[in-house]
Amino acid sequence: MSKDKVILAYSGGLDTSCILKWLLEKNYEVICYMANIGQDEDFEAARQKAKKLGATDIVIDDLRKQFVEEYVWPAIRAGLIYENRYLLGTSLARPCIAVGLIACAKKHAAKYISHGATGKGNDQIRFELSAYYLCPEIRVIAPWRDAEFCAKFQGRQDLLEYASKHGIPVSVTPKAPWSMDANLMHISYESGILENPNTEPPQDLFMMTQSPVKNKLLHPMRFTIEFDSGCPKSLQFSFDKTITDPLEMFLELNRLGGQYGIGRIDIVENRYVGLKSRGVYETPAGYILHVAQQDLEVFCLDKEVFRVKHQLMLKMADYVYNGFWFSPEGNYVGECLKMAAKNVTGSVNIEIIPGSVIVLGRKSNFSTYNENLVSMDKHDDFSPQDATGFINIQAIRLKEYKRKMQN
């Protein structure tokens, strides 16, 4: 009798390595799926580890190009930011991985997929909602919601003991028990000592950015980012170097932003499941592009379109964070945001110094900015006398309100 196949979203870390072993103990045939979305990972070592543990096959899928062009770029174009601070690095990666995971399941005729997301987090929702949208008949094994699994493992310490018992090598140790998730967009850190929101993150935690305090002597770096319909088009340097490939552009901005300590945040956010959680994030390239795009967007968009677009951005940021990248509402609002960005075309001059991104100037053929009209040195087509009537009309309700309050 053949065993049921499971495609496991595998990272090679503590959780998924133990889950692989546990699934094998439950008599499933397990194929490990590893998505390369830019994390600093020894994929060959992970392959050998999974093979040694008993996986039937290990699929390593390079999704870096798709991740940047189909997920990061639309997020930058829309200006997506959750609760005014989080640039959605993990949230954007999950639907991208889900596409590859489901494609792998279909190729191998697997009935199940599995993942190592916890029962308290957002990733379980993001993975599973994306999977059900892409393949309604798929079935999901979520060990951290399985009664037997949860009875056996309370948390990471139990996993460490299990890994030691079964000879599973892991990088997490009791001395540094925080959890880390990495991709091209960012690295996130949570759990362990970080669960106390008043505990300062140790400096050796950060892997993507150097400390801006220690790099104060770095000379300012200047470059120009060109956008086409809200998406980054090129990265230009004064020394005649121009990068146009999206992946190369993003990698270069990650390198520069990391060197200058840009994009670090330490926040408490509201998870979709109703819990508050503390996370530490590094998002160098994403932050630089967000600052540049937002500056150009205000410059290019009509005032009222900008305000409507901002409201839609808030909705879309919630959709992405909550796992609804693939959804009727996500599709609709995403198309609206894409249409709103049609005229966000131009360039932004940027200077980075340790810890900061500074906008030096911007230009676009699509902006309604009129230098002559706004000038304080000439009237042009603006009649100052018209302002009197404008002010009088705006003042009517204020005067009437004050009169009523005085009666």
Let me know whether 125 and 161 are in one domain: yes
Catalytic residue among 11, 15, 181, 362: 15
Token pair belonging to 389: 């009537």
- 377 belongs to the catalytic site: no
Catalytic residue among 17, 91, 130, 179: 179
Token pair belonging to 149: 């699994």
- 15 belongs to the catalytic site: yes
Catalytic residue among 47, 64, 77, 94: 94
Distance CA 69, CA 50 (A): 30
DSSP state string for 26-67 = TT-EEEEEEEESS----HHHHHHHHHHHT-SEEEEEE-HHHH
Distance CA 405, CA 407 (A): 6
Catalytic residue among 91, 123, 191, 277: 123
Let me know whether 308 and 160 are in one domain: no
Let me know whether 252 and 392 are in one domain: no
Let me know whether 145 and 10 are in one domain: yes
Q: Judging by DSSP bridges, how do beta strands 264-270 and 5-9 pair with one another?
A: unpaired
Let me know whether 191 and 177 are in one domain: no
What CATH number is given to the structural domain containing 82?
A: 3.40.50.620
Let me know whether 19 and 128 are in one domain: yes
What local confidence, expressed as pLDDT, does residue 108 receive?
A: 97
DSSP state string for 271-303 = -TTS-EEEEEEE-HHHHHHHHHHHHHHHHHS-H
Let me know whether 166 and 248 are in one domain: no
* Residue 265 structural domain: 187-363
- 4 belongs to the catalytic site: no
Q: Which of 161, 181, 201 is the last residue of a domain?
A: 181
What local confidence, expressed as pLDDT, does residue 1 receive?
A: 60
Q: Which of 181, 213, 230 is the last residue of a domain?
A: 181
CA distances from 47 to 19, 34, 50, 58, 362 (A): 15, 9, 5, 6, 47
Let me know whether 209 and 136 are in one domain: no
| Number of folded domains that form the chain | 3
pLDDT (tens place) for every residue of the chain, 407 residues total:
679 999 999 988 888 999 999 999 999 999 999 999 999 888 999 999 999 999 999 999 999 999 999 999 999 999 999 999 999 999 999 999 999 999 999 999 999 999 999 899 999 999 999 999 999 999 999 999 999 999 999 887 898 899 999 989 876 555 556 888 999 999 999 988 999 999 999 999 999 999 998 888 899 999 999 999 999 999 999 888 999 999 999 999 999 999 999 999 999 999 999 999 999 999 999 999 999 999 999 999 999 999 999 999 999 999 999 999 999 999 999 999 999 999 999 999 999 999 999 999 999 999 999 887 787 777 777 888 889 999 999 999 999 999 999 98
- 222 belongs to the catalytic site: no
What local confidence, expressed as pLDDT, does residue 239 receive?
A: 81
Let me know whether 34 and 89 are in one domain: yes
Q: Which residue has the tokens 């999950």?
A: 94
Let me know whether 16 and 151 are in one domain: yes
- What is the 3-state composition of the chain as percent helix, strand, coil, each rounded to the nearest 5? 45, 20, 35
Q: Which of 139, 163, 181 is the last residue of a domain?
A: 181
Let me know whether 41 and 170 are in one domain: yes
Q: Tell me the three state secondary structure of residue 189.
A: strand
Q: Where are the alpha helices (DSSP H) in 208-359?
A: 246-259, 284-300, 303-322, 328-340
Residues 6+ apart with CB under 8 A from 322: 122, 125, 126, 272
Let me know whether 399 and 302 are in one domain: no
